Structure 1
């Protein structure tokens, strides 16, 4: 198979040949038709995450081996499967979304379909070759979801940005429809979160970003309020915009600066859900945590159950589409560089030549 792979950290992606995997057991081989370019791919390409005072987490020390075909937002066509997958509804040529956040497959969390919480994560596009390739191997048929009537390019984004925001939103729900929910970041995740909230019937959606262009896209997507997060008084202006301290904030950037703004804006009993992987750390006053009964909670992607629920919600156009820019797979490196430069609204989705 061909892959557009990371061969060295921070170096251009290279088109290389790799052995096409032969499925065994319950594995399913798919021909990739669409692969989203996600912000997390930047960190994988860089080879490290910023953990604040804990220093850098180098992916080579966590089991990531190069060359690696990144890409965890994948749609493909079923090609073949292992003998243990017989009788599970597979047919050659089926179009399927591939759930990428796979684990060991045998622990209690994997058996409960909370694969994303497995401590032995083996995510596609991170620890195994993913969608920046002509083929990808799914561990089991249950990791495949029928996109139904969805545009496959849009459906691909649901495997990461979609279930990531869906899972995070569910951590602050239920809330009255007119209670402000603040979304920090108006990139691909932010626009996806607006779409999900609108589909849920939520009416007060506040989008925060440093880019006027991205805030304009957020308003077009359905944000009721926007705030440009420049200057030293962002928290004060955010609280004023929301009519008082905030009950629910989802930080899709999650860097030191945004986390501080979010924490300081919370009301008594308020909840901050941290999603992004920008880097840094947050120091919190412990007595305030208790006296104001605050919750600061991380949220890591989502589960196969959440992907199926999200796709069901999206059927029939009930979930507004985010902006999608299609690029041929051969342009993977250029697409990644555009994302690094902050020049992407919504999502770039790489497509196979015949897709």
Structure 2
């Protein structure tokens, strides 16, 4: 079938993106779903910094590619072997498909699925192969098994989670990345305990989701840090107890003064090494520093192994919020519906697919929290 999609053909184009236009809106061919795959009509797709990391070349991928990994849509066709979904079901995508039988999958760590990692790295679906093609039959690669910047997509059954049909599409899309990554990092990775203190560095969509997760989990003090004053102000409006400009010379001292020596948990969401260094240094002796950011793979963080031992520090990564999506996505949606996780407040902009370059330029300038493309 012919569909309209935003195709990225070249990484590293200079800004502003409103002029260089890294995305081209094209008509592409989408093949029908194969074994254990589903055809999904996309209703909403969020713009995420992980997409930006491909656009600017910090996370190299195969080209050309249809990006977009945070999305929600409706099942319109079932491939052979799919028996636990029905046409008309509403789904949220998980950007890491899980095969269900490798070691990470059977030990409840599907975000580390060996077969999913291999498929995502190759730009193909979990079952293998590519369902997108462009002019003259050229291959167009899939992004993290989703490729949500398109009217329709084909995905593995293992890349989608069925959700409550009463949830609006724009809100549903946020649960595909921002919420599971930010809230999951709090509840699953950091395992924040009632009364602990936390610093969240980097107030994008994931950072704000983490803020809401920390408040819902009962943190006694939530401190946020960023170099954007408007985002710090917004974080305070959403319940943060204190805000620190991380670019100031004495920023670490301010965090330590607020917490009697440092926070119990530091969470870095900015995706740059200086932010991780700042967060680690602001975490107390015996504390845990968690990072969800995805900096350029060539960058390095310098820490003292002696400090890890003598101060019993923990430095840990969190991918997919250490979530089990079929378990956690419905749970987080229930928290939203009960009013305890007001994720609707993350939604700062709604746009059309044709406005995608403007949306990413807005992201680069730090003028948005979470932007969602609406296809209806």
Report TM bin, short chain. 0.7 to 0.9
Match of 2:335 in 1: 313
Match of 1:56 in 2: none
Give 1:271-350 correspondences, 5 Å limit: 271-279=288-296, 280-302=299-321, 303-304=324-325, 305-321=327-343, 322-324=345-347, 325-344=349-368, 346-350=369-373
CA distances 1:232-279 after superposition (whole Å, capped 9, x unpaired): 222111111223222110011142222222222222211000111234
Q: Does 1:137 align with 2:154?
A: yes
Tell me the matched-pair count: 336
Of 172, 191, 195, 1:173 maps to 191
CA contact (8 A) 1:28 1:82 kept: yes
CA contact (8 A) 2:269 2:293 kept: yes
Partner secondary structure for residue 281 of structure 1: coil
Measure, in 1, the Cα distance between the counterparts of 2:340 and 2:248.
Answer: 37
Measure, in 2, the Cα distance between the counterparts of 1:206 and 1:250.
Answer: 10
Match of 1:102 in 2: 97
Measure, in 2, the Cα distance between the counterparts of 1:201 and 1:151.
Answer: 27
Match of 2:267 in 1: 250
Measure, in 1, the Cα distance between the counterparts of 2:341 and 2:144.
Answer: 31
1:254–1:241 CA distance, 2 compared to 1 (3 A): farther
Partner secondary structure for residue 180 of structure 2: helix
Measure, in 1, the Cα distance between the counterparts of 2:106 and 2:35.
Answer: 16
Measure, in 1, the Cα distance between the counterparts of 2:108 and 2:168.
Answer: 26
Identify which range, 101-110 or 262-271, moves more after superposition.
101-110
Measure, in 1, the Cα distance between the counterparts of 2:158 and 2:53.
Answer: 29
Of 54, 57, 60, 1:47 maps to 57
TM-superposed CA distance for 1:335, in Å, is 0.8
1:75–1:113 CA distance, 2 compared to 1 (3 A): farther
CA contact (8 A) 2:12 2:55 kept: yes
Gapped runs of 5+ residues in structure 1?
A: 50-58
CA distances 1:305-327 after superposition (whole Å, capped 9, x unpaired): 33333223323333112331110
Match of 1:229 in 2: 246
CA contact (8 A) 1:77 1:94 kept: yes
Q: Does 1:146 align with 2:146?
A: no
Measure, in 2, the Cα distance between the counterparts of 1:48 and 1:194.
Answer: 26
CA contact (8 A) 2:37 2:155 kept: yes
Partner secondary structure for residue 31 of structure 1: strand
1:2–1:320 CA distance, 2 compared to 1 (3 A): same
CA contact (8 A) 1:199 1:320 kept: no
How large is the RMSD of aligned CA atoms in angstroms?
A: 2.1
Q: Does 1:36 align with 2:46?
A: yes
CA contact (8 A) 2:201 2:268 kept: yes
1:43–1:236 CA distance, 2 compared to 1 (3 A): same
1:110–1:19 CA distance, 2 compared to 1 (3 A): farther
Match of 2:135 in 1: none
TM-superposed CA distance for 1:69, in Å, is 1.1
Match of 1:53 in 2: none
Measure, in 1, the Cα distance between the counterparts of 2:64 and 2:146.
Answer: 9
Partner secondary structure for residue 102 of structure 1: coil
Gapped runs of 5+ residues in structure 2?
A: 14-21, 126-141
1:270–1:193 CA distance, 2 compared to 1 (3 A): same
Partner secondary structure for residue 5 of structure 2: strand
CA contact (8 A) 2:351 2:371 kept: yes
1:337–1:209 CA distance, 2 compared to 1 (3 A): same
